Structure 1
Amino acid sequence: MGLKSVLSRIFAAVVNRKIDHLRKNAVALQQQTFQSIINQAKNTAFGKDHDFEKIDNYAGFKKHVPIRDYEDLRPYIERVTQGEADVLWPGKPAYLAKTSGTTSGVKYIPLSKESMPEHIRAARNALLNYIHETGKSDFVDGKMIFLQGSPVLAEKHGVQTGRLSGIVAHHVPAYLQKNRLPTYDTNCIEDWEQKVDAIVDETFNQDMRLISGIPPWCQMYFDRLSAKAGGKKIKDIFPNFKLFVYGGVNYEPYRARIEESIGFAIDSIETYPASEGFIAYQDSQKDKSLLLLCDAGMFYEFIPAEEFFNDNPTRISLADVELNKNYALILNTNAGLWGYSIGDTIKFVSKDPYRILVTGRIKHYISAFGEHVIGEEVEQALMSVAKEEGVDVVEFTVAPQVNPPAGELPYHEWFIEFGTEPKDLEAFAGKVDKALQQKNIYYFDLIEGNILQPLIVRSLKKDTFINYMRAQGKLGGQNKVPRLSNDRKIAEELGNC
C-alpha cells in the first residue's frame, strides 16, 4: 500500500464525520444556506428587483421570486455575460460554464468564487466516502482518467468561459495531478473521436485504476481499447482497474454492456453534477440512491412533477417532501440562480438521510394522448425485459407516432440499437409494452381502450446513435441522447443516420 493510499484513509475518516453531520442535519443546513445566500445577494440587481431586503423566510421568498427557466432568466444572464457586475451575485462570475440547451441554444451558467469550490469538494468527498465505507484505497496509488471536455477556456468580457468539465480540470488538486490522465495536450483535442483514439494510445500501457465519465462515451473508450488489444477485456488490459465513476445519465441501460466489456461487476459511484451545481452523489455501495448535498451553497425547492406546468404550482422545501413522489428540482444558488428550474425530475427514496434518484427530464416525456410516460418508466420497462431475455441494449429513444401512414391506431415507437438482438423482436416488444403498462396506469388505460396500439420497436443498425450525435455536433463530452420526445424530430433525424 502506497503513502497516498494510507493518507487517503486518514483523510477519509475526517471527511466522513462532516458527511455524517450533513446526513443528520440536512433541513437545518438548508435553512442556513437559504438565509446566507439571500443575505449575500440582497444588494445585487436581482436582489433589489425582487425585494430580498424584505425576505426573512421561505414563504416570503416564494411571493417575491417566481420559478424561471434559462429563457426567463436570460435578460439577467445577458447582463452578466456583457461584463456587468453585481447582477445575480456579488461581483462578476469566476467562470461562465457553456452548455448546449435543447431549446435555448448555447447557455452560459455563472460559476462564482463561492460555488466553484463546491464542485471540487463534492467530487473529492464522493471518493473519500467510498474509501471510508469500503476500506479500498489502492486506486489512489495508480493512474486515474476523467473523460471530459477540453480545458481550453475562452474569455467573454473578462470572464473565462468553457465547458464545466474543462473548467474543473483546472482545479484538480495538486496531489492528484501526477496520477491524472489524459495529458493536457490530449485533453485539448476538440474532435471527440480523435481525442478518444489519442486517450487509448496514451493510457494503453498505464496502470489505470479509476475511470470516470458519462457511460456511453466510456463505452466507446472501452471498445477502442479492446480493439487495440485484439479483443481483450478491460480487466486484462488494466488488471488494477478498481473503480468506475459516472454521471449524466441513468447507468442501468448501459450497465450490462459496460460490465461485459470490463469483464466483471466493478465497484461504481454515481454522481449528479451539473453546471448549476454538484447536487448529489452515491454515498454507499449498498444503496444505488444518491445523498442530496444540503451544505453546498444551494437551497432546493421541489414542485410535484404533475403540477410543473400549472400556472400556480405547489412549491415546497426539503422539510416537506414525500417519499417516492416525482418532483421537478428547483435551485437557488451561491452563483446567482434564483427559482431556477434545472429541468430534472427526482424522487426521494429516504429522508434519513435525504437520498434521491434522478427519474428523468421534466420536458422529456411522452403525453401525446395524456399518458405522461416518463424516462424512469421506459428505462425500467426496457431493461427488465432485456435482462430477462439476455438482450444487450446499446442505446435507445422513444417517440409517439400520432398519425401512422397506414391509418392504423397510433403508438409509441421505440428506436433501439441492440448489441445482441432479441430472437423474436415482436415478442420482445410485446413484453416491453406489458411492462410499461404495469408502470403507467394511463398508458394501460389507453391500450385497454383501443386508443393506442401496443408499442412498436425499430431495430437500428450499429452506430446509428453515434452517427446521430455526430451529425448534431454533440459527440462526446457531457452530451446525452434524450430518452423521450413528445414529437418526431429525433425519430425523423435517426432515419438519416
Structure 2
Amino acid sequence: MSIKSVAAKLFAKKIHKKTQAWATKPVASQKAVFLDLIKQAKQTQFGIDHHFDQIKTYEDFTKRVPIRDYEDLKPYVERVVKGEENILWKGKPLYFAKTSGTTSGAKYIPLTKESMPYHIEAARNAILLYIHETGKADFVDGKMIFLQGSPILEEKNGVKLGRLSGIVAHFVPKYLQKNRMPSWETNCIEDWETKVNAIVEETFNENMSVISGIPSWVQMYFEKLQQKGGKPVGKIFKNFNLFIYGGVNYEPYRAKFENLIGRKVDSIELFPASEGFFAYQDSQKEKGMLLLLNAGIFYEFIKSDEFYTENPRRYTIGEVELNVNYVLIISTNAGLWGYNIGDTVQFTSLKPYRIIVSGRIKHYISAFGEHVIGKEVECALQEAMLGTDIRINEFTVAPQITPAEGLPYHEWFIEFENEPKDRGTFAKALDNAMRKQNVYYDDLIAGKVLQQLVITKVAKNGFQDYMKSIGKLGGQNKIPRLSNDRKIVDLLKTN
C-alpha cells in the first residue's frame, strides 16, 4: 500500500466524522444555513426588495420570497451580468456558469467565492466516503479522467464565464494534477468527436483507475477504446475499478457498460448542477444519494402533483416523506432565492436524508392525464430487461396522440445494442412493467383509452446524430427520457 493511499484513508476517516456531525442533525443544520443566508444577504438589492431585515423565521421567508424559475429571476441576474454589485449576493460573483435554457436562451448562473468551494469539496468527499466504507484506496495511485467541457473561459463585464465542468477544471487540487487526464490541451478541444478521439489516443496506454462523466458520453469513449484495442475496456485498463457519474440514471446503461468493460466495477453517483452540488452517493450498500444539508444551500420541497396549483405548500427537510415526488427548490450562497431548478426528487431514507433524482418537472408525459415521469420509465425498462441479454444505448419516450389507426399509445424510441429476439414480447413486458409503475397509465390501458406501448427502433448512433444536429453533442448535455410532444422523436433516424 502506497503512502498516498494510506493518507487517503486517514483523510477519509476525518471527512466521514465531519459528515456524520451534520447528517445526524439535519433540521439544525438546515436552520443554521437558512439564518446565515438571510444574514449575509440583508444588504443586497434582493434582500432589501424582499425585506430580509424583517425575516426571523422560515414562515417570514415564505411570505416574502415566492418560488421563482430563471425567467422570474432574470431581471436581477441581468443586473449582475452587467457588472452591478450586491444584487443577489454580496459583491460580484467569481464566475457565471453558462447553460442553455429552453425558454430563456443562454442562462447565466452565478458562482460566488462562498459557493464555489462546496462544488469542489462535494466531489472530493464522495470519493473519500467511498474509501472509508470500502477500504479501497489503491486507485489514488492510478490515472483519473473526467469527460467534461472545455476549461477555456470567456469574460463578461469583469466576470469569467464558461460551462460548470470547465470552471471546475481550474480547481483540481495540486495533489491530483499529476494523476488527472486528459491534458489541458486535449480538454480545450471544442468539437466533441475530435476531443474523444484525442482522449482515446492520450489515455490508451495509461494506468486508468477512475473514469468519470455522463454515462452516454463515457459510453462513446469506451466504444472507441474497444475499437482501437480490440478487447474490453477492463483489459485495456486492468486497474479501472471505479466509475463516477451524474446527470442521468446509470441503471439503463449498466448492462451495456459491463459488456464494454468486460466486468463489473463500483460506481458513485453525483448530483451536481450549475446552481449547486446537491447530493452524492455516500454508501455502496444503501439506495440514494446523501442530501448535502450544510453546503450553503437551503432546501424546500413542493409535491409535484401540487406544483401547478395556486400557492402549493412548501415543505422543509423535517417535513418530507419517503417515496413522494417533490420539486426541488433552493436558496443559495450564490444568490438564488426560492429557486426552482426543475428537478424532481424522492427520498429513499430519512436517517440520513438520501434522495434519488426522479425526473424533471417539465419532462413528463401526460397527454391523457397519466403524468408519467422519468423514474417510472427507467424502472420499467430495467424490469423488462431483467434476466435477458437485451442491451440498449439510449432511449426516449413520446406520446402518439393521432395514430394512423387504432388507439393512441406511448411510443418508445430505443437504440439497441443487443436487440430482443421478439420485439412484440419485449414491448408487452415493458408495458406490463409500466402499468405497475404508474396507476394512471394502468387505468388508461385497462379502460382502452390507450393501447399497449409501441417500440420504434432507432438507427445506430441515431441519438448521437440528433444531438450533433442541434449542437449539443457531448459535455453535460443529455437526452430527455420523455417529453409531452414529438419535437425530439420526429428528428430521430429510425429503422
Matched, 1:262 2:236: no
Note the alpha carbon deviations across 1:415-449, whole angstroms, 9 max, x for none: 00000111111121111111111111111111111
Deviation per CA, 1:473-494: give whole Å up to 9, x if none.
1111000100010011111111
User: In structure 2, what is the Cα distance between the partners aligned to 1:190 and 1:157?
Assistant: 24
Unaligned runs of 5+ in 1: none
Q: Which residue of 1 is the match for residue 280 of structure 2?
A: 281
Q: Is the 8 A contact 2:148 2:475 kept in 1?
A: yes
The 3-state SS of whatever aligns with 2:427 is: helix
Q: What is the letter of the counterpart of residue 34 of structure 1?
A: F
Query: 1:178 is matched by which residue type in structure 2?
Result: K
1:47 maps to what in 2? 47
- Distance in 2 between the 1:432 and 1:263 partners? 27
The alignment-based identity, stated in percent, is 63
Counterpart-to-counterpart distance in 2, 1:463 and 1:331 = 37
Q: What is the CA distance between 1:103 and its match in structure 2?
A: 2.7
Q: Is the 8 A contact 1:386 1:393 kept in 2?
A: no
Per-residue CA deviations over 1:142-186 (Å, capped at 9, x if unaligned) read 111111000000000000000000000000101100110000000
2:352 is matched with which residue?
353
1:142-181 equivalences in 2 (<5 Å): 142-181=142-181
RMSD (CA atoms): 1.0
Q: Tell me which amino acid in the other structure corresponds to 2:279.
A: A
Distance in 2 (CA, whole Å) between partners of 1:393 and 1:112 is: 40
- What is the CA-CA distance between 1:408 and the residue it aligns to? 2.1
Amino acid at match of 1:190: E
Matched with 1:299 is 298
Aligned partner of 1:204 in structure 2 is 204
Given the alignment of the two structures, is residue 25 of structure 1 paired with residue 16 of structure 2, yes or no? no
Give, in whole Å, the separation in 2 of the partners of 1:327 and 1:135: 35
Residue 314 of structure 1, CA deviation: 1.0
Corresponding residue number in structure 2 for 1:326: 325
Alpha carbons 1:233, 1:262 under 8 Å: kept? yes
Aligned-pair distance for 1:388? 3.2
Give the counterpart letter for 1:37 in structure 2: L
**CA distance in 2: counterparts of 1:397 and 1:101, whole angstroms:** 20
* Residue 238 of structure 2 is aligned to residue 239 of structure 1: yes
CA distance in 1, matches of 2:40, 2:337: 13
The 5 A counterparts of 1:423-434 are 423-434=421-432
Amino acid at match of 1:77: V
Give 1:32 deviation, angstroms: 0.2
Q: Is the 8 A contact 2:462 2:494 kept in 1?
A: no
Q: How far did 1:104 drift?
A: 2.3
Q: Are 1:104 and 2:109 an aligned pair?
A: no
| Structure 1 counterpart of 2:459 | 461
Q: Distance between the aligned counterparts of 1:31 and 1:156, measured in 2?
A: 35
Q: Aligned letter for 1:202?
A: E
Aligned to 1:384: 383
CA distance in structure 2 between the partners assigned to 1:411 and 1:355 by the alignment: 35
Residue 8 of structure 2: aligned partner: 8
Give the deviation of 1:84 after TM superposition. Answer: 0.8
For residues 224 and 272 of structure 1, the distance between their equivalents in structure 2, rounded to whole angstroms, comes to: 27
Describe the SS at the equivalent of 1:42. Answer: coil
Contact 1:234 1:261 in 2 (8 A): yes
Distance in structure 1 (CA, Å) of the matches to 2:328 and 2:20: 24
1:417 corresponding residue in structure 2: 415
Deviation at 1:25, TM superposition (A): 1.1
Q: Secondary structure at the match of 1:389?
A: coil
SS in 2 for 1:388: coil
The answer to whether the aligner puts 1:191 opposite 2:191 as a matched pair is yes
Q: Give secondary structure in 1 for the equivalent of 2:270.
A: strand
> Is the 1:68–1:339 contact (alpha carbons within 8 Å) kept by the matching residues of 2?
yes
Residue pair 2:459, 2:494 contacting (<8 A) in 1 also: no
Show CA shifts across 1:287-326 (max 9, x none). 2310000010000000001011112111011010011111
Q: Is the 8 A contact 2:467 2:473 kept in 1?
A: yes
CA contact (8 A) 1:304 1:328 kept: yes
Once residues 494 and 266 of structure 2 are traced to their aligned partners in structure 1, the CA distance between those partners, rounded to angstroms, is 38
Structure 2 SS opposite 1:99: strand
Q: 1:226 to 1:495 in 2, by over 3 A?
A: closer
> Aligned partners of 1:72, 1:368: CA distance in 2, in Å?
27
**Could you list the per-position Cα deviations for residues 118-155 of structure 1 after superposition, in whole angstroms to 9, with x for gaps in the alignment?**
00010110111111111111111111111100000000
Q: Shift of the alpha carbon at 1:102?
A: 2.6
Amino acid of the structure 2 residue aligned with 1:171:
F
The 5-angstrom pairing of residues 443-482 of structure 1 reads: 443-482=441-480
Q: Which digits, 9 at most, give the CA deviation of each residue in 1:44-90, with x for residues without a partner?
A: 11111111111111111111001011111111111111111111000
Which residue identity does 1:421 align to in structure 2? E
How many Å separate the matches in 2 of 1:246 and 1:495?
28
Q: Which amino acid aligns with 1:64?
A: R
Contact 2:278 2:291 in 1 (8 A): yes
Report the CA distance between 1:30 and its aligned residue: 0.4
State the alpha-carbon separation in 2 of the partners of residues 197 and 102 from structure 1.
30
Instruction: Give the counterpart letter for 2:132 in structure 1.
Output: H
Q: CA deviation at 1:495?
A: 4.2
Structure 1 counterpart of 2:214:
214
Shift of 1:397: 0.4
Per mean C-alpha deviation after superposition, the further-off stretch among 99-108 and 206-215 is 99-108
Q: Kindly state the Cα deviation for residue 390 of structure 1 after the two structures are TM-superposed.
A: 2.2
SS state at 1:409 partner: coil
**Counterparts of 1:496 and 1:407, CA distance in 2:** 20
Query: In structure 2, the residue corresponding to 1:331 is in which secondary structure?
Result: strand
SS in 1 for 2:10: helix
Aligned length: 495
Task: Compute the displacement of 1:496 (Å).
Answer: 8.3
How far 1:92 sits from its partner (Å)?
0.6
1:484 aligns with 2:482: yes
TM-score, length of structure 1 as denominator length = 0.98
Residue 315 of structure 2: aligned partner: 316
AA partner of residue 376 (structure 1): K
Aligned partner letter, 1:12: A
Amino acid at match of 2:320: V
Shift of 1:463: 0.3
Aligned to 1:223: 223
| Length-normalised TM-score, structure 2 | 0.99
Residues in 1 aligned to 2:492 and 2:49: alpha-carbon distance in whole angstroms: 45
Structure 2, unmatched stretches of 5+, are: none
